């Protein structure tokens, strides 16, 4: 009996797949290992604190008599026996499993991934005479053309990373009619606060913040 489980910071979240045959489990595990995301989730809130997060998939085998746990290197380079949360199962293999980050976006009825923001807000309806512009206002990514959208990130650092990820994608793929203006200077904050409040109805308290859940 074999299982593939998803973990967050090495703690089991859920069982993704159950298999009776090792070959089937290995094939699925290889596919999961190859998953690529556009903008991975690296931070989560725990209480009021923003903490690092890492996701992994584990390939587990139901133990039978004589089975031993695998030997791995720990954080200080020492070889140790790896033990799963459930002593009835042994870990055969593990691999990082990046998860897409999700963002609040004005006008959307659910959170959007970075790839959805790129495909549906940045790359659509591009016009040569009215190019889209991307700007940063604290922890917010602004996408403006005929319409205007605000993407709220967890903090300023994440907003900069998302902005740079989109910019790099456009540069690498030779995408035109999109202008990247970087961070709005402090003396222009008030102008943008008023513009976003007027056009989108965003409250000033939310606009003033530099972090968000």
Per-residue pLDDT at 82: 65
Query: In this structure, what token pair is assigned to residue 35?
Result: 């998953």
pLDDT(200) > 90: yes
Of 144, 20, 183, 4, nearest to 84 (Cα)? Answer: 4
Per-residue pLDDT at 130: 78
- Among candidate residues 96, 117, 133, the one where a domain is terminated: 96
Q: Of residues 139 and 81, which shows the higher confidence score? A: 139
Do residues 186 and 192 lie in contact, with contact meaning Cβ atoms separated by under 8 Å? no
- Among candidate residues 53, 69, 96, the one where a domain is terminated: 96
pLDDT(90) > 80: yes
- What is the mean pLDDT of the segment spanning 67-95? 72
Asked if residue 181 and residue 204 are part of one domain, the reply reads: yes
- Tokens 């991975």 appear where? 40
Asked if residue 109 and residue 193 are part of one domain, the reply reads: yes
Report the 10 Å Cβ neighbour count for 161. Answer: 16
Min mean pLDDT across 23-37, 119-133, 141-155 is at 119-133
Asked if residue 88 and residue 107 are part of one domain, the reply reads: no
Q: Of residues 212 and 136, which shows the higher confidence score? A: 136
User: How many structural domains does the chain have?
Assistant: 2
Residue 39 resides in a domain: yes
- The number of CA neighbours under 13 Å toward the Cβ of 92 is 17
Per-residue pLDDT at 46: 86
Asked if residue 152 and residue 91 are part of one domain, the reply reads: no
pLDDT(127) > 80: no
Per-residue pLDDT at 51: 92
Asked if residue 179 and residue 122 are part of one domain, the reply reads: yes
Residue 94 backbone phi and psi in degrees, to 5: -145, 155
Asked if residue 89 and residue 146 are part of one domain, the reply reads: no
Q: Give me the domain span that covers residue 82.
A: 2-96
Per-residue pLDDT at 123: 92
Asked if residue 33 and residue 18 are part of one domain, the reply reads: yes
CA-CA-CA-CA dihedral for 76, 78, 81, 84, to nearest 10: 10
According to the per-residue pLDDT averaged within each range, which of 45-54, 85-94, 139-148 is highest?
139-148
Per-residue pLDDT at 73: 61
- Among candidate residues 75, 96, 117, the one where a domain is terminated: 96
Tell me the pLDDT tens digit for each residue of 44-73.
988 888 999 999 999 998 887 766 766 666
- What is the mean pLDDT of the segment spanning 27-36? 93
Asked if residue 107 and residue 70 are part of one domain, the reply reads: no
Distance from the Cα of residue 193 to its chain's centroid: 27
Residue 162 backbone phi and psi in degrees, to 5: -65, -45
Asked if residue 182 and residue 149 are part of one domain, the reply reads: yes
Q: Of residues 88 and 100, which shows the higher confidence score? A: 100
Tell me the pLDDT tens digit for each residue of 161-182.
999 999 999 999 999 889 999 9
Query: In this structure, what token pair is assigned to residue 157?
Result: 């650092």
Q: Of residues 103 and 73, which shows the higher confidence score? A: 103
Asked if residue 77 and residue 42 are part of one domain, the reply reads: yes
């Amino acid at each position: 009996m074999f299982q593939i489980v998803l973990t967050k910071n090495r703690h089991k979240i859920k069982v993704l797949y159950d298999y009776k045959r090792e070959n089937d489990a290995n094939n699925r595990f290889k596919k999961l290992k190859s998953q690529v995301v556009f903008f991975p989730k690296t931070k989560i809130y725990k209480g009021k604190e923003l903490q690092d997060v890492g996701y992994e998939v584990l390939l587990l085998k139901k133990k039978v008599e004589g089975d031993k746990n695998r030997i791995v290197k720990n954080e200080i380079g020492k070889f140790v026996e790896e033990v799963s949360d459930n002593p009835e199962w042994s870990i055969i293999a593990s691999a990082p499993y990046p998860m897409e980050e999700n963002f609040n976006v004005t006008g959307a009825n659910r959170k959007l991934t970075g790839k959805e923001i790129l495909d549906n807000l940045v790359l659509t309806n591009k016009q040569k005479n009215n190019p889209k512009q991307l700007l940063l206002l604290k922890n917010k990514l602004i996408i403006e053309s005929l319409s205007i959208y605000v993407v709220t990130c967890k903090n300023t650092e994440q907003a900069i990373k998302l902005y740079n990820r989109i910019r790099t994608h456009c540069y690498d793929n030779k995408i035109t009619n999109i202008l990247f203006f970087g961070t709005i200077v402090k003396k222009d904050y008030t102008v943008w606060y008023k513009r976003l409040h007027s056009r989108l109805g965003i409250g000033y308290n939310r606009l003033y913040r530099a972090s968000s859940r």
